[in-house]
Amino acid sequence: MASHRKSRPTGSRVAGIRTPAFATAALTSVALLSQSANAAPEADDKPSLEEVEKKVDDLYRQAGSATEKYNGAKEKTAKQRKRVDTLLDDVAQRTEKLNEAREELGTFAAAQYRTGASAPDTATFLLADTPQDYFDQTQLMDRMTGRQKVAVDDYITQQSETMEKRQEAAESLETLTESQGDLKTAKATVQRKLADARELLSKLTAEEKARLAAIEKEKQQEAARKAAELARQQAEQQKEQEQEAAQQQGSGSSSAGSSSSSTAPDSSYATKADKALAFARAQIGKPYVWGATGPGSYDCSGITQAAWKAAGVTLPRTTYDQVNAGTTVPLADAQPGDLVFFYDDVTHVGIYIGNGMMIHAPKPGTYVREESIYYDGESSIHSVVRPA
C-alpha cells in the first residue's frame, strides 16, 4: 500500500524550526556582520598616532623628572655614606680610648687587690651601671688619689662622648638607609617609564614611525623659526642699547641704562661662559644616559654642571638646585652661557649658546646636540638663569 506521507523538505533546523538552504546562507551572513560589528570597537580602541606621540613624550618627561630625583638621592646618599664612615671611624677611635681608660682603672683595682688597701673600690666602680651612678651613691671620689681622679674623669668623659657618637652614627645609618630607599625607588621609576615608552614605540608600524618622524621634523622647523625670531629681537635690542649708550656718551649723560642693559653680564662672565660653551660643544654627539655626568655620556643637568665646572664654577647636581644657583634674567636678555630651564616642575635644562639655540642632552636614545630652545614649544620654557 503506498504511503501518503509527504517527504520532508531539505535544509537544516534552527531552534526546532525547519529552514531552507537560502535561509542558512542568510543566517551565516548575519553572523559574519555581527562578528565584524563586535570587532570594530577593538580597532577603534587603538590610540591615534598623535596620542601615542603625546604619551611617549609624557613618559620621557616623567622619566626625566624621576632622573632628577635619582640624581638628588644619589648625591644625598653619597654624602650620607661619607658621614657615616667618618662617624664610625670616630666611634672606633673613641672606643679604643675608652678601653685604654678602662684598662688604667683596672690597674688601680689590681693594685688594691694585691695590697689590700682601703682606697676606693675601683673594681666596684667598673661594675656599676654607669660610673656617675656609682659616685652619686657614694662619696668615694673624696677618698681617691689625684691620679685615680684623673683616670676616672677621663673614663667618664670617654664613655659619655663615645655613647653620643654611637647614637649619632646610628641615626646617620638610619638616614642612609632612607636615602638608599629613595634612590632605589627613583631608579625603578625611571626604568619603568622608559620601558613603557619603548613598548609604545615598538607597536608602531613602519608607516606610523615615518609619520611620527615627519611630525617631529615639523616641530623642529617651527622651533627653528621661533629661535630665529628671538635672535632678531635680541639683535634689535642690542642695537638699540648701543645707540642709547652712544647718545648718552655724546651728551655726557651719566644716567643709568635701561632695565635690559642692567642685566647684561660683565666681561668676566663672558670669559667663563666661553669656557663653559667650549666644553659643551666638545661633548656634542655623546649619548644621553640618565644619571650620567660624563665624560662618556651625560644627562641634562650632568652636562650643564660639567660645562660650568670647566669654567671654574661649581653648580649643584640637579635641575631643582641649579635653577636657584644664579640670577634669573628675562628670556629676551639671555646671553651665551645662561641656563635655560624647562617645564613647570623644572626637570630639564640646557646651556644657551645665542640666537635662540642651546646645547643640551635631550632624552634617552638621543645625543648631546645643538637645538632650538623652543624644541618642545614656547610654553615649555620655565626660566633663564645666569649662574656666575
Active-site residue numbers?
Answer: 300, 348, 360
Contact 191, 62 (CB under 8 A): no
217: CB partners within 8 A, 6+ apart: none
Instruction: Please spell the DSSP secondary structure of 234-294, one letter per residue.
Output: HHHHHHHHHHHHHHHHHHT------TTGGG---HHHHHHHHHHHHHHHHTTTPBB-TT-BS
Residue 210 has a CB neighbour count (10 Å cut-off) of: 11
CA gap 358, 164 in Å, rounded = 52
Cell of 264: 647684561
Continuous segment of H or E residues that includes residue 359: strand 357-360
Residue 283 has a CB neighbour count (10 Å cut-off) of: 21
In angstroms, the Cα distances linking 291 to 66, 306, 382 are: 10, 13, 22
